[in-house]
Amino acid sequence: MLSHPQQVFSRAQLIEQLYPNNDDIVDRNIDTHVKNIRKKLSAIAPDQTPISSVYGVGYKFSG
């Protein structure tokens, strides 16, 4: 996501990149990871939201 800011990534694309050999990963795992990353980033910069949700599509990094 960092190397392609503003590009929207679907959950399937993120799963493919993060878990290339595991078919047992549920797409909601990505939601949990994004939630945890957002929480950590908000502790560093509470006034910014670098990861945006795109309804029905996925996530993008806004930088």
- Is 80 exceeded by the pLDDT of residue 22? no
From the candidate CATH numbers 3.40.50.150, 3.30.70.270, 1.10.10.10, 2.40.30.20, the one assigned to the domain spanning 11-61: 1.10.10.10
28 DSSP assignment? H
pLDDT at 1: 85
| Structural domain spans, the chain | 11-61
Q: Which residue has the higher pLDDT, 59 or 27?
A: 59
Whole-angstrom Cα distance, residue 43 to residue 49? 11
Kindly report the pTM of this predicted structure.
Answer: 0.81
Whole-angstrom Cα distance, residue 21 to residue 8? 23
Q: What's the chain's average pLDDT?
A: 90
